[in-house]
Structure formats: structure tokens, C-alpha cells
């Protein structure tokens, strides 16, 4: 919904994740305005590894940095897992959406008035009975409920559900159930998917052989 915390992710990473050819490392840095920038090609010295591809030779060396980032989100694990189960949404997709929406900052506020971890707009908060959008529990439960409803509405099409989360379900419907041609939305959907796929790859790598 909000786009304050995402600048751009290389489009090339989406293809490499789908084809399974190149490394799927994800790097991040936060600029002076508090905007998080994600990339698979860290051309700036400020980038730090966020998620290492299981196939990456740097995965072990970077595990401490990844662990530090995950520790930031771990305090919300029980809320995320419960909300995910209640709405049949992958926990990794929720985490990826929160990374892009707010960088796991529960006090985040966008210039459009979206609030909290999942950047709920006031009307969305009212729709899902949220009294305090800054409260992580209320925010995540409502955001995941909304995301789950969007997945149901768009027949489990993750791309369309994410596009609707960003631009509104009405916009997706107006464009014939395609991703609306809005610059923000066209960046937002692959950005969330890149982080989601990297998290899923990390989970699969951690599973016992």
C-alpha cells in the first residue's frame, strides 16, 4: 500500500529466481530519508546483505548479518504465524510484504497516511476493525486478513493480490484483472516477490535433508 520504504529492486533478479540460474542474494540499505533500497546487485558500498541465496558462497559468512535482520522481525513471529494460519497465507509472504512496506518499523507512516508494519490505510483499518494501527498485533492481523481476502478474490494469484494490496482491488479490476500500469505498483509487486522467494529458498535450505 505505502511505498515509503521501497526504492527499487533489479528486475533481473525476478528472472533469475524463476529460472534458478543466478544467485538470489538480496541486499538492502536505508538512506537519510529513511527509505530502504533493495537490490541483488549491490553497486553502492552502503548495501548490506539481507538474505543470502542457499547456493551463494557467501551464505555462511553472511549468516550473522542475516540473523541480525531476522532478529528484528522475530518478535512478531507468533503473530505472523497465527495470522498466516487463520487466513491461509504463507508466513514468508507476510514477512516479505512487511519488509517492503515498513522495514519492520511498527511506527512507520507513509505520506498517504498508511500506518504501521503492514502500512494500513485508515479505511482498511476501519474495514478490519483496527482500533490502533500502530499496535503490531492489530496491524498484522488486519493486514494479513486483507491479504488473504485479496488472494481469495483473485483466485490465489499472488501477483494480483499484491498489486491490489498496493493499488486497491478496484484498480486491479478496472484493468481487467491485470497489474495496473502504475509505476509504484509495477515496482512493488516484483519487489515483494523477490524477497518472498528468497525467504522461501532460505527456508527450504534449512529443512533437514
Distance CA 139, CA 116 (A): 7
For residues 104 and 117, the answer to whether their CB atoms sit within 8 Å is: yes
CA distances from 91 to 21, 59, 81 (A): 25, 22, 6
Active-site pick, 81, 101, 159, 169: 101
> Is 101 marked active-site?
yes
Which helix (H) or strand (E) segment holds residue 27: the answer is strand 26-30
Contact 28, 136 (CB under 8 A): no
User: What spatial distance separates the first Cα and last Cα of the chain, rounded to whole Å?
Assistant: 38
DSSP per-residue letters across 76-110: THHHHHHHHHHHT--HHHHHHHHHHHHTT-TT-B-
Tell me which residues are annotated as active site: 101
Amino acid at each position: 500500500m505505502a511505498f515509503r520504504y521501497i526504492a527499487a529492486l533489479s528486475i533481473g533478479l525476478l528472472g533469475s529466481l524463476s529460472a534458478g540460474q543466478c544467485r538470489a542474494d538480496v541486499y538492502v540499505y536505508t538512506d537519510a530519508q529513511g527509505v530502504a533500497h533493495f537490490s541483488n546487485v549491490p553497486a553502492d558500498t552502503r548495501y548490506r546483505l539481507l538474505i543470502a541465496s542457499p547456493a551463494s558462497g557467501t551464505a555462511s559468512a553472511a549468516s550473522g548479518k542475516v540473523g541480525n535482520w531476522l532478529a528484528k522481525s522475530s518478535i512478531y513471529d507468533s503473530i505472523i504465524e497465527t495470522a498466516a494460519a487463520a487466513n491461509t497465507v504463507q508466513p514468508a509472504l507476510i514477512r516479505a510484504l512487511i519488509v517492503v512496506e515498513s522495514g519492520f518499523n511498527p511506527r512507520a507512516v507513509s505520506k498517504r497516511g498508511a500506518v504501521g508494519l503492514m502500512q494500513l490505510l485508515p479505511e482498511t483499518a476501519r474495514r478490519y476493525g483496527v482500533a490502533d494501527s500502530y499496535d503490531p498485533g492489530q496491524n498484522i492481523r488486519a493486514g494479513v486478513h486483507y491479504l488473504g481476502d485479496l488472494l481469495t478474490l483473485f483466485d490465489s494469484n499472488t501477483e494480483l493480490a499484491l498489486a491490489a494490496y498496493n493499488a486497491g482491488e478496484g484498480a486491479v479490476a478496472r484493468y481487467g484483472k491485470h497489474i495496473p500500469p502504475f509505476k509504484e505498483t509495477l515496482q512493488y509487486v516484483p519487489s515483494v516477490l523477490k524477497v518472498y522467494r528468497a525467504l522461501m529458498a532460505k527456508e527450504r535450505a534449512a529443512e533437514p535433508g
